[in-house]
Structure 1
Amino acid sequence: MERKYIGQVAVDSGQLMIIDPMAIEKHWKLDYEEVCSITRNGERAGMLNDTLACAFQTGSRFGDGLYEVYAHYSVPDKKFVADKRISKVEIILIDELDE
């Protein structure tokens, strides 16, 4: 599996959400406190409207800032190597070397 740096994500509220961009325009009628209520539990994470989005607290002791994002690529069919796809996305919130 190939791992490649694809950018950064900004955190200003201590939280992140993963959401399909189509859902933002179609379903977005939430306010900040409603999203916060999803992440204020023992797991610091939860689903928004069951399937709309996944929200979580970053839990970073470093606070707000920019966090690195990596894509992991795989080739589902080895016959078509050019058909590599993103199989996993990784966001580094706390670098294990900094702990």
Structure 2
Amino acid sequence: MNAIKQTRKVVRYRGDVQGVGFRANAIHQGRGLNIKGFVRNEPDGDVLLDVQGPTNDLKELLRRIGSSMERKINETLIDEREPLPDREKFSIRY
């Protein structure tokens, strides 16, 4: 049996993304998807999303976040990285 390929994406959202429920919305949009990682506010005003899981689940998460928060996002920077072992559930980091 083949293991599902894991992909990791580190995404930086820029715009009016803090203080608008962005992190809680990201967690909500991740429900039902097989993803692990975190979302957190950055000191510079950006929101950082660091998640991994099956490629299709990550694409769907980014689509959902982009669609639901499009009025708040001015720029989305996506970096693909090597998956990390032993990641925990998808959560908000403070």
Same topology, TM > 0.5:
no
Larger radius of gyration: 1
Q: Relative contact order, CA 8 A, sep 6+: which one is greater?
A: 2
TM-score by length of 2: 0.26
